Structure 1
Amino acid sequence: MKLLDTLTGGYASLIVYGLAALAVAAVLAWTYHLGSTHTAAVWSLKYDQREVAIQKATNAEISRQAQANAMAKAAEAQRLAALEAENAALEQLIKEKSDEADADPDRDRVCLSGDAGLRIDSIH
């Protein structure tokens, strides 16, 4: 140390302390860098997991809506078929009652006959 002190003109201890401080600062900077890199990786992982979860939830909701729409369309088709069948049966009944009315011997009377009243009531 005396040799270094004579070579540097008395600044040897200052240089040693400066190098020690530089070494400590380098270790601290390296540790900080590792910590921030780790933190960035953790947050990136959390973000990616969140995005995957959101995409899964979105896909599940789209699938649920598609299934609900398909079920509603199937129910609608069944109801339309039932209504068409009921309508056809009603039209057939009206045709039968109309044919009966045409064949009724009392069809030209001023008021309704008993059979005509029964035919009208059967439509309701």
Structure 2
Amino acid sequence: MNPLDAVKGYASLIKYVLIAAAIAATLGYTYHLGSANTAAIWSAKYEHREAEIAKATAAEISRQAQANAMAKAIEAKRLEQLAVDNAALELQIKGLSDEADADPDRDRPALSNSSRLRIDAVH
């Protein structure tokens, strides 16, 4: 057996191994590029989703703050109106009480006509 024949047999094997290694390297590089691209795409989608969530959260907080401010303004206006109504009612009750104290028929066991009118005036 000639040593040159053995080298020629190994040369063919080495050639196929190198071709297989080149194909594997190409496939690995392509896979890596695709994986990196996919990671970048998903990262961009995630960041976009997080930005949308933050925007929606800020809009909802703003809407709630506006609704609370409007409710407080309505409440303040209603409390002011109730205070005015209460003061008017207190004044009316004081006036009717003064009239009752000045009524000459206040000690009668039955209600006089003016007493009935004073009672009916408070509703």
Distance 2:54 2:44 in 1: 15
Any unmatched runs of 5+ in structure 1?
none
- Alignment of 1:36 with 2:27, yes or no, is no
Deviation readout 1:57-103 (Å, 9 max, x if unpaired): 11111111111111111111111111111111100000010111111
Residue in 1 aligned with 2:74?
Answer: 75
RMSD: 1.4
Partner of residue 108, structure 1: 107
Q: CA deviation at 1:10?
A: 2.3
The CA distance in 2 between the partners of 1:21 and 1:45, in whole Å, is 36
Q: Sequence identity, in percent?
A: 65
User: TM-score, normalising length from structure 2?
Assistant: 0.92
Could you tell me how far apart the structure 1 residues matched to 2:7 and 2:48 are? 58
Q: Could you tell me which residue of structure 2 aligns to residue 55 of structure 1?
A: 54
| Cα distance in 1 between the residues matched to 2:118 and 2:84 | 21
- How many residues matched? 120
* Distance in 2 (alpha carbons) for counterparts of 1:10 and 1:26: 25
Poorly superposed stretches of 4+, deviation over 4 Å: none
Q: Which runs of 5+ in 2 are unaligned?
A: none
Question: How far apart, CA to CA, are the structure 1 residues paired with 2:116 and 2:10?
Answer: 129
Deviations 1:19-43 (A, max 9, x none): 1111111000000000000000000
Q: Give the C-alpha shift of residue 6 in structure 1.
A: 5.6
TM-score normalised to structure 1 length? 0.92
2:63 is equivalent to residue 64 of structure 1 = yes
Structure 2 counterpart of 1:92: 91
- Quick one: which amino acid aligns to residue 34 of structure 1? L
